[in-house]
Chains A and B, each alone.
Chain A
Amino acid sequence: AQSVTQLDSQVPVFEEAPVELRCNYSSSVSVYLFWYVQYPNQGLQLLLKYLSGSTLVESINGFEAEFNKSQTSFHLRKPSVHISDTAEYFCAVSLPSKFSGGYNKLIFGAGTRLAVHP
């Protein structure tokens, strides 16, 4: 079975500082990896995903995540955060269909609340 661990429940940071939100997963087979973001009073939105290929993936708003197979990690980073990045961030995994026999559900971590202060 797959599982996801987000090591920090809350991360406070000052504006323009760098940030890293940590995510580790457990799986006996290869997985797809996702980061979702939930801004206050909104639904979860896909931030970025790793399916295959380059281990470094980027989002349109400056976040990036690196897939590290040996460490089973998919940490999210941003070199300089803005107040508007304040949100809850969820790491998630799912199995490719060749392993699941079809659709397979997303397994989420507990979330990390990023609070950016001026």
Chain B
Amino acid sequence: SAVISQKPSRDICQRGTSLTIQCQVDSQVTMMFWYRQQPGQSLTLIATANQGSEATYESGFVIDKFPISRPNLTFSTLTVSNMSPEDSSIYLCSVLDRVISGANVLTFGAGSRLTVL
């Protein structure tokens, strides 16, 4: 399985600031994703990070709030902009690790726990 490193692992941020989360994979992967896990809730897909082009965002998420970069096949960043307390969550990077019988198997990073004061 791919090994994913996320930084920072946790941070405490002030309202109105922005924070960039980095995701580094130990091998080239075709697809990378960013998920959010709000307290007591399930994981929600924010966007698919596309190499060399704009990310594909899910309903309810916009580029101005969550700009994403993916300069190559092993690295991506997610920025949480103009943060408010409602953005306090765990943000997880994941990659498409392999396809088995048509099923997509994902590997996840350990997550970045953000607390916005």
Interface residues of A (CB under 8 A from B): 4, 9, 32, 34, 36, 38, 41-46, 49, 51-52, 90, 94, 96-98, 103-106, 108-111
Contact = CB atoms under 8 A, between A and B. Distances in A.
Looking at A32, A44, A49, A94, the one whose CB has the most chain B CB atoms below 10 A away is: A44
B109 A43 contact: yes
Interface of B: 4, 6, 9, 31, 33, 40-45, 58, 92, 94, 96, 100-111
A104 to B, nearest CB: 8
Contacts of B33: 105
Nearest to B31: A103
B3 to A, nearest CB: 9
Contacts, number: 63
A52 B103 CA distance: 10
Given A41-B110, A103-B31, A108 B42 contact: yes
Given A46-B105, A108-B43, A110-B42, A51 B100 contact: yes
A4 B31 CA distance: 23
B102 A51 contact: yes
B42 A51 contact: no
Contacts of B110: 41-43
A80 B106 CA distance: 28
Nearest to B96: A103
A88 to B, nearest CB: 10
Nearest to B10: A41
Contacts of B42: 4, 90, 108-111
Nearest to A3: B42
Contacts of A111: 42
Given A49-B103, A51-B102, A96-B102, A110 B40 contact: yes
Contacts of A36: 108
Contacts of A43: 4, 6, 92, 107-111
A105 B104 CA distance: 9
A67 B79 CA distance: 39
Given A4-B42, A9-B40, A43-B111, A106 B100 contact: no
